Structure 1
Amino acid sequence: MTTTTEPLSRHRAKLFDPWLLLGIAIVAVLLVVSLFTGVYDVVGGKDGAEMFAITRIPRTVSLVLAGGAMAMSGLVMQLLTQNRFVEPTTTGTTEWASLGLLTVMVLFPSASLFGKMAGAIVFAFIGTMVFFLFLRRVSLRTSLIVPIVGIMLGAVVGSITTFFALQTDQLQNLGVWFAGSFTSVLRGNYELMWIVALVAVAVFLVADRFTVAGLGEDIATNVGVNYNRVVLLGTGLIAVATGVVTVVVGNLPFLGLIVPNLVSMIRGDDLRSNLPWVCLTGIAIVTVCDLIGRTIIMPFEVPVSLILGVVGSIVFVALLLRQRRNG
């Protein structure tokens, strides 16, 4: 006789996959390597312990928070749009966040870090809603067109931001903000990054609702889920994660595209059981790219966004070709 505890036990077993422990161990090793990688010798240096606390710990914590949050944001956005090719950098969300940051900097030059984040979050929310509303108004024949439309909208917003920055003598600052890099992450200017940890928790708690919403508005409504409310919640979480990461770190292109697709190809499309893997994979990819950027031309650094952009664009094209072959 089948009982209700059997599906729950199977779901729990799938969520707590023993392989997850191996994934956690691998990510932990990468983070330890990150803590001790750099030009300054934190082990034998005169002020090694102080430099370790000021630079290495904040940088490594930021790698964890930014990598996990942006990967999960990409997963949520793909569910809500029912499209595997969207994420904050292919829908214009990141460009809107940059415009919000620039607007706050121009109108309120003495704004605090929290104020800058608030502006970036508000604009990221508006931009993401514009994209979602556009998708609901326009009937697109193929899913491949959706990211192209998002990239075009992002390009328009990016052009407006660049013109705005040029007119207000902020073009150089804009370039620094938009180049995703963990070089400037120091103790005292990264602590608000912990906000994205709350985003990750919220995504996990409402994962089932996002899954139902991903089946479409009609099905979600039939099973008693308020589709519009779930979309607003998902948009808000995506905006918070994108806004915070954009202000502290900058642009992390294609991360939210690469990770969910890689995980789903290996493990299937069960959202709740995939979330830990999406988070871990996002952290691992960002950390590896950051380590490459730190060591490839040491003592100088290459922005992590450059490494991610190269890797992400290759994966993006590969996914498009795979989709075309599969019809």
Structure 2
Amino acid sequence: MFFHLNGGTKVVYERYECSRSGLLDDPTFDLPTHLIPRPLRPIGSRFLVEWVPLPRGANLGEDERRQFFVSNTRVLVLAPSGQGAPCYAPGMSRTPRSLGYRTDLALRVQAGAEVEDHGTYTVVRSPANPTFWWGNFLLLHEPPRPGTLEDWQARFREAHPGAAHVTFGMDTADGEAGAAAEFQAAGFRLDRNTVLTTARTTPPAKPLPEGVTLRSLETDADWDAALTLRLAVNAADERPSEEAGYRTFAAQRLAGLRAAQEAGHGAYLGAFLEEQMLAGLGVYSAGGGVTRYQNVETHPDWRSRGLAGHLVHFAGEWARARLGAHTLVIVADPEYHAQRLYERVGFRSTEVQTGLERPPAGG
């Protein structure tokens, strides 16, 4: 289907069951200037375009022109009502039911992951970070049935032949895990994490420590400080990962998040005392006004001082102002204190995100 922008360039508009985000190769839209609050800033030879649903009750005829508006590097296209929630990931013909995995996939793709829909499961690959368990996994569209363990392991090996780990996500929202006991008997761990959401965070009661500033990472030195923080957090863990391997993983993970920031998807934010990064997190758009937090962590020497709460609130306000966020999403281990911290700044439990993982031998 084609449509015109006030008599300008003819643009292809594809009909999907859901809206989507993506990068267009041809940044030559002839947009009327009154729809552009600031000049377009292409991302290389492309720019980001995102389809978002029209307000409830609004209906456009098939031949009516769609409306465009621009914010930073994002071009928003108002799509017809009834197209459903955003797909979030190119390569998928269905939208995950799980908000946790839906936003996971969106952010993985921003960081360079590949997504393939195979009908009953989705393959997720992160070529730049092959040791990232949850960047290289299968998302099962239904919980595994009894007697399917070997079949699923074979499909994982086919999709990830060089992987030492095995990870399966389950596209459910209520913690349903099917025949997970069979997987657990074969050495898998069953993880159930809480997906929390809010429209807006509330500021913590405890004041920010004197001299600490909250800001986005901009320079190479900032990103080096983020890596130093990640290494310190790992070293203090009860079961730390092997240092050299973790350094490689963490550096690759941060590189993907930096690329997503530079492409206009969001930002990595930190609590700094002069040049030292004391706490950090990422906050990135998953499309359709949904924004997801990533990697909330605080230096072991600076915990219990209110840094994480202030940074989570700061990130929420940043996302509302810069990304147009109306739903903030964060995921937490229900047995860890972080969930209570998130609840104190306004988050509430929405779903349960379920997965099965088997670490590499000796991991």
TM-score (norm 2): 0.24
Q: Which has the higher helix share?
A: 1
Q: Which structure has the larger Rg over C-alpha atoms?
A: 2
TM-score (norm 1): 0.26
Higher relative contact order (CA 8 A, sep 6+): 1
Q: Which has the higher strand share?
A: 2
